[in-house]
Amino acid sequence: MTIQNILSDLAASRQTREALYQDFHRHPELSLQEYRTAERIEAELRSYGIEVLRIGKTGVVGVINNGPGPVVAMRGDIDALPMAEQSGKDYAATGVTQLDEATGQQTPVAHTCGHDVHIVCLLGAAKALQDHRQDWSGTFLAVFQPGEENAAGAQAMVDAGIVDKLPKPDVYLGQHVLGTLPGGAVGIRSGALFSAAASVEITLYGKGSHGSMPNLGVDPIVLGAAIVTRLQTIVAREVAPRETAVVTVGSFHAGSKSNIIPDSAVLQLNTRAFDKAVEAHLHEAIERIVRAECEAARSPRPPQFRYYDRYPLTHNHAEPTARVRAAFDAYFGEDSVEMAPVPASEDFSIIPDAFGCPYSYWGLGGFADWKQAPGNHSPFFAPDLQPTLDRGVEAIIVAASPWLIGGVQ
């Protein structure tokens, strides 16, 4: 009963998995429109003899019940991005487009965030576990999650009843291929890993007037400027200096002509925090300041706040993360590293939070020349095939081992 046994077919299956990866890579699909992707995943799982549940439109879960023991869920996200790939790879998704159901427009699509790696590694790990049932005990759930890029897919699986349809995991695991770790390394840390993020659209109301008669109006541009200026005090004065928090006003739009005072202004803000209480404070402070400035300006209507693109905090639980880290250290040696928090965001934690179970998430280095690697979401992002695909399978088996084979080793 060892990790090595479970992974003993890795070399033999390498070519098959690479071909599978290239197939997914050539067929990227937009968030919550991963129809072909989900079909293919389901077909693969079934071909391995694994039981499959569809949860929601494009969510897929492979379930391996293998005797008594802990339940381990592993998440792989499956969607691509609305952009044109420029990686130059021979398996690049050149010229691939998809009809965006939201806009009705045909749009380019590409796997420029590496979710295809996640799919194939999770399929590989599931097959290895299925093929070596004698080497472990417990339950393994391979959770193929749609819609990470629009922060809607994990919630969609929760809304579709994932909590009722699956046993509660003892641990919920996840991984992401990155250019910010050495190629082939696995990186993890306890605590805050990805920031909580949210966007807020704020509509401010003034009163229009001719530009030469400001006294007859309420100037929403002066109001908006006061707000933008005053918002700087949140990070500078209200948040503890050692906390990491960001309040960005990414757009400010008001008015059409120099000599007309407009009657409204629209600001779009983005917030980042590595602590839920800090994020709550940011939003409370934004609303407090905006409302107060509107009163200062005698704004004729209360401001409107619309929150969107909300990503939860990804905050690795200490106990399972320590177990994963110890397993990584033992198996990968120097390739097991400490990972720094990343100011990006993930919807990963929504499902384990819905289950009420702990989680742990790690990064997987995807580029030998990682110091020069393109960032995720770059049109040039395309990880090295190897050792990435092998390493991603190994990482899953190793991370799950403290639960699935740890007790019986």
Binding-site residue set for Mn(2+):
113, 115, 149, 176, 377
197 binds its own copies (CB under 8 A): yes
CA pair distance 277, 359, nearest whole angstrom: 20
Binding positions are 113, 115, 149, 176, 377
Residues 116 to 175 in contact with its own copies, rule: CB under 8 A: none
For the bound state, the minimum distance from the C-beta of residue 267 to its own copies, rounded and expressed in Å, comes to 8
- Token readout for 321 is 């993360």
The catalytically annotated residue of 34, 77, 79, 279 is: 79
100 binds its own copies (CB under 8 A): no
Count, residues in the chain: 409
What radius of gyration do the chain's Cα atoms show? 24
Site pattern 236..265 for its own copies (x: CB under 8 A) = xxxxxxx-xxxxxxxxxxxxxxxxxxx--x
196 binds its own copies (CB under 8 A): no
Which one, 47 or 233, has the nearer CB to its own copies? Answer: 233
- Token readout for 176 is 């992401």
Residues 321 to 360 in contact with its own copies, rule: CB under 8 A: 341, 343-344
Beta strands in 274-407 (DSSP E): 304-311, 314-316, 336-338, 359-365
SS3 string, 168-201, reads: CCCEEEEEEEECCCCCCCEEECCEEEECEEEEEE
Candidate list 211, 300, 302, 407; residue touching its own copies; CB under 8 A: 211
For the bound state, the minimum distance from the C-beta of residue 306 to its own copies, rounded and expressed in Å, comes to 11
Most distant CA pair in the chain, distance: 83
Q: How many residues bind its own copies (CB under 8 A)?
A: 70
298 binds its own copies (CB under 8 A): yes
- The DSSP result for 370-402, as a single string, is GGGPPPTT-TT----STTHHHHHHHHHHHHHHH
Q: What are phi and psi of 399, to 5 degrees?
A: -65, -35
Which range of residues in 49-57, 92-100, 131-139, 221-229 is near its own copies by CB under 8 A?
Answer: 221-229
Residues 354 to 393 in contact with its own copies, rule: CB under 8 A: none
295 binds its own copies (CB under 8 A): yes
Residues 176 to 195 in contact with its own copies, rule: CB under 8 A: 195
Which one, 162 or 198, has the nearer CB to its own copies? Answer: 198
Please calculate the CA angle 121-124-126 and round it to the nearest 5 degrees.
110
Say whether 79 is catalytic.
Answer: yes
Using the 8-state DSSP alphabet, how is residue 404 labeled?
H
CA pair distance 2, 130, nearest whole angstrom: 14
What lies within 8 Å, CB to CB, of 16 at 6+ separation is none
Task: Select from 230, 10, 229, 195 the least CA-distant residue to 121.
Answer: 10
The catalytically annotated residue of 29, 85, 148, 335 is: 148
For the bound state, the minimum distance from the C-beta of residue 315 to its own copies, rounded and expressed in Å, comes to 16
Binding-site ranges for its own copies (CB under 8 A): 195, 197, 199-201, 210-215, 219, 221-222, 224-242, 244-262, 265, 268-270, 272, 288-289, 291-293, 295-298, 309, 341, 343-344
Catalytic machinery residues: 79, 148
